[in-house]
Amino acid sequence: MAKVTIGFALGLILLGAVCFFAAEPEHRSPTAFIPSIDGVFILIGGLLALNPKHRMHAMHVAVLFGMLGLFAAVAGIIARRPHGLAMLDMGGMAVLTGVFSVMCVMSFIQARRNRLAQPGFPVGQSGPDRSS
């Protein structure tokens, strides 16, 4: 999932840059780079997740930024009702971060099922015993 995360991050970075540079010079706004900024944070999580030691925490950070990006994009669409390149920028960010977040949640569920199915995992226990 780390490589998929990097792919989505690069897509967001590219989306922001393309929308910024596609606009006429007098209509360019730095807010077009919002998907790129979110993509950079997701990219950091994806790169850290390449290390198996940091994978779980890094992917949780990446999906946190994915969900924040989704909420920000949807809120921006509702509040600003953009059109043209702004709609492409916000809508693309909403789609990319939404699909990414759903894929991450599905991956987390599958990882948990795999961990619980491992031989020797105590039945009825959801994780390490923290009662001591």
Q: Which residues of the chain have pLDDT under 50?
A: 130-132
Would you tell me the crossing angle of helices 55-80 and 85-116 to the nearest 10 degrees?
A: 150
Among 17, 13, 12, residue whose Cα is nearest residue 101: 12
List Cβ<8 Å contacts ≥24 apart for 47-50: 47/2, 47/6, 49/1, 49/2, 49/5, 50/2, 50/3
Please write the tens of the pLDDT for every residue from 52-76. Answer: 999 999 999 999 999 999 999 999 9
The model's pTM: 0.84
By CB atoms closer than 10 A (0-12, 13-18, 19+), residue 62 is: buried
